[in-house]
Amino acid sequence: MSARGPGATLPRVVAAEWTKLTSLRSTWWAALASVVVSGALTYLSADAASGDPGYDPLGELTAGLLLTQLGPLVLGVLAGTGEYSTGGFRTTFVAVPRRWPVLAAQAVAVAGFALLVAVASVVAAVLAILPAASSRDLPVNLTEGSTPWTLAGMVVFLTGAAVFGLAVGALVRRVVPALVTVIGLTLVLPVVLTLAVESSGTTFVEGVTPQERAVNTITTLLPSGAGGLLVTSSDASTVPGTPDLGAVGGGLVLAAWALVPLVAAGVRLRLKDVK
Amino acid sequence: MIQVQLLTKRYGPHTAVDGLTFTAPPGAVTGFLGPNGAGKSTTMRMIVGLERPTSGTATVNGVRYADLSAPLRSVGTMLDARSVHPGRTAFRHLMAMARTHGIPRSRVEEVVGLTGLESVAGRRAGTFSLGMGQRLGIAGALLGDPGTLILDEPVNGLDPDGVLWVRHLVKGLAAEGRTVLLSSHLVHELALCADRVVVIGRGRLLAEAALGDPALGAGSLEDAYLRLTAGSVEYRAGAVDGGTR
Amino acid sequence: MTSSPVTFPRVLASEADKITSVRTPWWTVLGCVAVAAGTAFGLGLFARPGGGATGASLVVAGYVLAQLGFLVLGVTVGSEEFRTELADVTFVAVPRRLPVLAAQAVVTTVSALATAALALVASIAATAAQRDALGLPLSLADAETVRMLVGFVLYQTAIALVGLGLGALLRRPAGALVTAVTGVVVLDQFLAMNPGRFTDTVRAFLPGTGTRLLTGDDRLAALDAASSGPHPGSWAAGLLVSGWATILLVAAAARLRRGDFA
């Protein structure tokens, strides 16, 4: 044992998880979907908006983000649940009996891969706004003002979505419930909450009601709301009655969404038998 | 009786089964042999209609499987012990199968007894060992009391008792005049329970003969098998990379 | 040979046995009912006099989140066979194959109808106090109310069948569920953020249009005033989502008939 050094060091476990992740076909499908959706939807939005009088090409950069996050989310969930649904965990945990390094390594591998996917998706979005901008002879300068921060925020948002998916997947361990949880929290619950504001029927009247404040605060604290703060330039008007967290605060909330279930999954791994 | 005639299955450029012709007669156990990837499972899946042949035919008692009005009554099939829902109990799994043919509950209880699953029939199939899964698969095959049985690797994962039990079971079924087609990698085991063998390699027929037929040459069935398949093994330990595919 | 052939009622009995003998569908049913009633109650807390809510709109308000559960119900029935390789056993017993899908459609329809009806009753109970406090009656003599309550049940059932079609067509629960949620919820949301003649037209033909069945007349009028696409009537919108379910089931049947189970 000692003659050849420790067997399963963290870098080696990460390398093994990376191999597993990139050898899954679903990983590449999700990656491809993310990049294609980002490019296509941003292009369509930019094209539609380019007729507006006050058209700002850079304003359309984040237009496809809502749907683009579905790719990294699914990628994360499938990576997190894959071990359990195929029984592959038996081999994995025999190789790494302490178990939690596997989870940590999975998180590192998924975050690394998702970072690449996120960069590719953001590049696709940037390329997608160029045709509409050039048709109006408007310059696209990515280094000015808050644009670099928006681009960085998009990358962090998409990478965070993948780690969030992984964390829920690893905690719930079953594909369908994990997907429902993740999609419900990021995409459907915000719709429900907008209905809540509508049914209070006071949006245009006396300013911000306590109910509205509550709803908007919850919306902001959901993963997609927190992620949204990452890509909103600070000078943009904030939603009435929401805590002003700023991009950093939004990033921290998103990180909490990923870390809390990840830690819970780690605890579950330690405490319970793998069955 | 199972008759396979000029059966061919192509997946794109790859030919899995190539003009295969053989017969499994009633009253005998026909052993189905071949290296990994030879096309045994694909052939069995085509016989029971799970995969469509590219060309050729496979019939059971002269009828295409898909045209049987009560297939489980004619043919009992066990292809893969994992073909169960892990959350369903063994008994309910068999019950759901039985309902498609109006097979009564008493028959389900009977096959549970025949296969020694009484004590675990109420357990969810996901908790089964490979050997128990095999027994459940065999129970499913026996459900319709069929005249023909198609069993893919039935002794995989069974303990020595189980192997002996399958050996007696299939010999007994053949002695009752039924047709049994049984694939296995375990040549020794087939030498003990088969009356005749069909050997294939790379989707083609290499030999079809009764055990002890001079066509198989001198020596044991294993010697004959290794000699016949020498040129058609796709995956062999230690082989140099870049072989056949 | 004993004469006991495979008949459709027998295949149906088998599929009914399958859905009731595993835990997942029961949890899904429970989830649908709890989420529908819970959301309706939660949203009811925000309703205020003069806010445009009606008795019926309060009751059906849980549909947005609950439809996820109905999608899961259908997707699970459609794809579970293939995920667990049980398909081998099923189609060896029923080699004509199509009766299995037809039986799954019947089983899904019945369980979705029952679940939606339960969810509706639970939502009526959950919002009773709120409706009283707001003075919003729930009168079954009112055609609009009946249309919305019945619409809730029919819409969720159609959505479950959309899930079944996608599950049986794609044969993978994850892929089918993501596709279904995208088509039913997310795409609509995205298009709504980019209003225009083209996007409004596309929205009108997505399955989510079926929600018009359970949307009040006033709200429909407001939506139509803001949309430059076609404005299908409530029942036409219901037919449209049924059309989606039919197309997907026919595509699944075509794949089932011709394909292999590899």
To the nearest 10 degrees (0 to 180), the angle between helices A147-172 and A175-183 is 140
Q: How far is CA B210 from CA B174, B195, B213, B214, in A?
A: 15, 6, 5, 9
Distance from CA of B42 to the nearest CA of C (A): 9
Q: What is the pLDDT of residues A82-96, one digit of tens each?
A: 755 555 555 666 666
Residue B123 at interface with chain C, using a CB cutoff of 8 Å: no
Lowest mean pLDDT among A210-224, B158-172, C127-141: A210-224
Whether residue B19 contacts residue B204, with contact meaning beta carbons closer than 8 Å, is answered with: yes
User: What does the alpha-carbon distance between residue A255 and residue A94 come to, in Å, rounded to a whole number?
Assistant: 30
Distance from CA of C52 to the nearest CA of A (A): 7
pTM of the model: 0.89
Give the distance from CA B9 to its chain's centroid.
18
Q: What is the pLDDT of residues A29-72, one digit of tens each?
A: 999 999 999 999 888 888 877 777 777 878 888 888 888 999 99
Nearest CB to C89; choose among B68, B89, B140: B140
Paired with C111 in beta bridges are: none
B71 and C14 within 8 Å at the Cβ level: the answer is: no
Q: What is the pLDDT of residues A170-183, one digit of tens each?
A: 999 888 999 999 99
Please give the residue of chain B at the shortest CA–CA distance from C98.
B66
Give the distance from CA A218 to its chain's centroid.
18
User: What does the alpha-carbon distance between residue B66 and residue C256 come to, in Å, rounded to a whole number?
Assistant: 14
According to DSSP, residue C7 is labeled -
**Which bin fits A258, alpha (ψ -120 to 50), beta or left (φ > 0)?**
alpha
Q: From chain C, pick out residues whose CB is under 8 angstroms from the CB of A26.
A: 174-175
User: In terms of C-beta density within 10 A (0-12 exposed, 13-18 middle, 19 or more buried), how is residue B186 classed?
Assistant: middle
Provide CB contacts within 8 A for A238, sequence distance 6+: A232, A244
String of b and e for C1-22 (b: at least 16 CB within 10 Å)?
A: eeebebeeebbbbbbbbbbebb
> Stretch A198-225: mean pLDDT, rounded?
71
Q: What is the pLDDT of residues C116-168, one digit of tens each?
A: 999 999 999 999 999 998 888 888 889 999 999 999 999 999 999 999 999 99
Among residues A157, A182, A177, the alpha carbon closest in space to that of A76 is found at: A182
Residue C230 has a pLDDT of 87
**Which bin fits C229, alpha (ψ -120 to 50), beta or left (φ > 0)?**
beta
> Stretch A205-216: mean pLDDT, rounded?
69
Nearest CB to C190; choose among A67, A196, A200: A67
**Which bin fits A223, alpha (ψ -120 to 50), beta or left (φ > 0)?**
alpha
Residue A59 has a pLDDT of 80
Q: Is the ipTM of this complex over 0.95?
A: no
pLDDT above 90 covers what percent of chain C?
67
Chain C interface mutation, best of A62, A198, A209, A215, highest count of C Cβ atoms under 10 Å: A198
Residue C36 has a pLDDT of 96
> Stretch B153-175: mean pLDDT, rounded?
92
C199 and A77 within 8 Å at the Cβ level: the answer is: no
Lowest mean pLDDT among B48-52, C191-195, C198-202: C191-195
Chains that touch B (3 or more CB pairs under 8 A): C
Residue B244 has a pLDDT of 41
Whether residue B17 contacts residue B45, with contact meaning beta carbons closer than 8 Å, is answered with: no
**Which bin fits C114, alpha (ψ -120 to 50), beta or left (φ > 0)?**
alpha
pLDDT at C107 > cutoff 50: yes
Q: From chain B, pick out residues whose CB is under 8 angstroms from the CB of C17.
A: 92, 95-96, 99
User: Where are the domains positioned within chain B?
Assistant: 2-81+130-229
A189 and C178 within 8 Å at the Cβ level: the answer is: no
User: Where are the domains positioned within chain C?
Assistant: 8-258
C17 and B99 within 8 Å at the Cβ level: the answer is: yes
Lowest mean pLDDT among A10-14, B132-136, C101-105: A10-14
Give the distance from CA A138 to its chain's centroid.
31
Q: How confident is the model at residue A206 (pLDDT cuts 50, 70, 90)?
A: low
Among residues B142, B46, B51, the alpha carbon closest in space to that of B98 is found at: B142
Give the SS3 label for residue C5. coil
Q: How confident is the model at residue B235 (pLDDT cuts 50, 70, 90)?
A: low
User: What does the alpha-carbon distance between residue C251 and residue A239 come to, in Å, rounded to a whole number?
Assistant: 44
Residue C80 at interface with chain B, using a CB cutoff of 8 Å: yes
B50 and C94 within 8 Å at the Cβ level: the answer is: no
Residue A3 has a pLDDT of 44
Residue A205 has a pLDDT of 46
More confident residue, C230 or C170: C170
Residue A246 has a pLDDT of 79
Among residues B97, B139, B89, B137, the alpha carbon closest in space to that of B114 is found at: B139
Q: What is the pLDDT of residues C175-189, one digit of tens each?
A: 999 999 999 988 888
pLDDT at B245 > cutoff 80: no
B51 and C260 within 8 Å at the Cβ level: the answer is: yes
Report how many Cβ contacts below 8 Å link chain B to chain C.
104
Residue B25 has a pLDDT of 96
Residue A274 has a pLDDT of 53
DSSP assignment of chain B equals -EEEEEEEEEETTEEEEEEEEEEE-TTEEEEEE--TTSSHHHHHHHHTTSS--SEEEEEETTEEGGG-SSHHHHEEEE--TT-S-TTSBHHHHHHHHHHTTT--HHHHHHHHHHTT-GGGTTSBGGG--HHHHHHHHHHHHHTT--SEEEEESTTTT--HHHHHHHHHHHHHHHHTT-EEEEE-S-HHHHHHH-SEEEEEETTEEEEEEETT-GGG-SS-HHHHHHHHHTT--S--TTPPSS---
Cα torsion angle, A39, A41, A46, A48, sign: positive
Chain A interface mutation, best of C26, C28, C60, C178, highest count of A Cβ atoms under 10 Å: C178
Residue A181 has a pLDDT of 94
Most confident of A190-199, B213-222, C97-106: C97-106
Q: What is the pLDDT of residues B1-40, one digit of tens each?
A: 999 999 999 998 999 999 999 999 999 999 999 988 889 9
Residue A93 has a pLDDT of 63
Nearest CB to C92; choose among B69, B70, B77: B77
Nearest CB to C17; choose among B50, B72, B95: B95
Residue B114 has a pLDDT of 93
For domain B2-81+130-229, give its CATH number from 3.40.50.300, 3.40.50.620, 3.40.50.740, 3.40.50.2300: 3.40.50.300
Among residues B210, B85, B81, B86, the alpha carbon closest in space to that of B139 is found at: B81
Provide CB contacts within 8 A for A97, sequence distance 6+: none
Please give the residue of chain C at the shortest CA–CA distance from A215.
C46
Please give the residue of chain C at the shortest CA–CA distance from B72.
C93
Among residues B147, B187, B207, B202, the alpha carbon closest in space to that of B22 is found at: B207
Lowest mean pLDDT among A225-229, B32-36, B191-195, C140-144: A225-229
User: What does the alpha-carbon distance between residue B122 and residue B233 come to, in Å, rounded to a whole number?
Assistant: 42
Cβ neighbours around A40 below 10 Å, total:
16
Nearest CB to B50; choose among C1, C15, C92: C92
pLDDT at A242 > cutoff 80: no
Q: From chain C, pick out residues whose CB is under 8 angstroms from the CB of B134.
A: none
Distance from CA of B17 to the nearest CA of C (A): 14
